[in-house]
Structures are given as C-alpha cells and as structure tokens.
Amino acid sequence: MADLLDKLTDTIRSGSIGKATKRSAKWFRDKIQGLKGGLRNKFSTTNPDKFYRESDNKINPNLLSRRASLGSLYCYHYDPKYKATLPYYDVFPMIMLIGVDSDTFLGLNFHYLPPKLRAILLDRVNAKIAGGVPNWKKISKIPLVQPAVHRYRFDQISRKVIQIEKEEEEIAIFLPLERFRKASKSAVWANSRRRAG
C-alpha cells in the first residue's frame, strides 16, 4: 500500500482525485489545485481566518470535551493560558486528538513539524493504531511524536472547533495554517527536528 507521500505525489502528478475528494468541501478542492510543484510549504493561499470561514464542520468546544473522537483531526483558535512561560506556541493548532480529561486534552500538533515530517508522522501513527483508538504506549515510541505532542485547555479555545473529515486529513496536514508566536516556523521546525533525533 502506498504511503501518504506517494499518494500525494501521484495526486499532484496525475491531477486525479478520488470520489471521496469530490464530495469534500470547496476548500479541499482548492488546496489540491494549489499542490502543483511538489512538497513545499507554499501549497495554497489559504490562511487560518479563510480556512475557518470556509469550514462547515464546526462544533462547540464544550461538545468536543463530551463527544471527542480520539484519533480525529481538529483545528481551532487557541490562546495559551501560560503563554508568557512558553518559548513559542501555535495560535491555530491542527491536532490529532489522543487523550481527553475534564479540563484538558492531549493532541499531536502537526504544525510543529515541516510538511514532509507531518506525512511521516501521520503514516506512522495510523500504522500503529490500525484504524483504532490511539494508545499512548504505542505511539509514544515514534520519535516524531515528542516535538508534536502538546496539552491544551478547553477553556482557552476562543471559537468553535473545526473537525477535519477523515478523507481530508492527508491534504489538511499540509496546509500552511501554522501561526507561531515568539518564534518563526523555521526555528520551531529546526528545534522539532533536534528533539525527534
């Protein structure tokens, strides 16, 4: 079975899209067209505000805490409570939900990795969970998990949460939606590479 990078490259080369993609929202089709030219972080003209406006699948953060789907991808506007003590942070995370408790949740934020490593992480996590629920013991052994895993507070989400449809995940992780504060994305990615080994 082809991995994510192979599938993405084939889609770019052939210009073909599957039935699931054709049913996707307008933003997803726009992003596919923007992928011409290879794996660079200049895939499209989208930004968090445009992405948020054009996304239909939004849920209230309170509902996320009650009906969260472990292993699903979510995006949201976030204002960290302890941002003064953080070296840097992402104000528009795109996470795979891997754990939930009453006040906080744990997620793999793909934005902390450059695009190629995002694809590798998604492939490796999906291989470990094999369509099931993420198990921390299994996925914590993946080196790329360490720089991507972060704990978030429900009460620091400032708007509704976007749930990424399953068939859209493989393209969504490549969208240039990261918005880091206190450091550039190149500095964040360089640090993540060092932490992953």
pLDDT per position as a tens digit, 48-64? 888 888 788 888 887 77
For residue 33, what are the domain limits?
A: 4-196
| DSSP class per residue in 83-135 | GGG-S-EESS-EEEEEEE-SSEEEEEEGGGS-HHHHHHHHHHHHHHHTTS---
The rounded percent of the chain whose pLDDT value lies above 70 is: 76
Taking residues 103-128, report their average pLDDT: 93
What is the pLDDT at residue 28? 41
Query: Domains in the chain: how many in total?
Result: 1
Q: Match 């795979």 to its residue by tokens.
A: 96
- pTM of the predicted model as reported, rounded to 2 decimal places: 0.78
Cβ contact 74:162 at 8 Å: yes
Position 65 pLDDT exceeds 80: no
Residue 6: both structure tokens together: 């192979």
What are the tens digits of pLDDT across the range 157-193?
Answer: 999 999 998 888 888 898 889 999 999 999 999 999 9
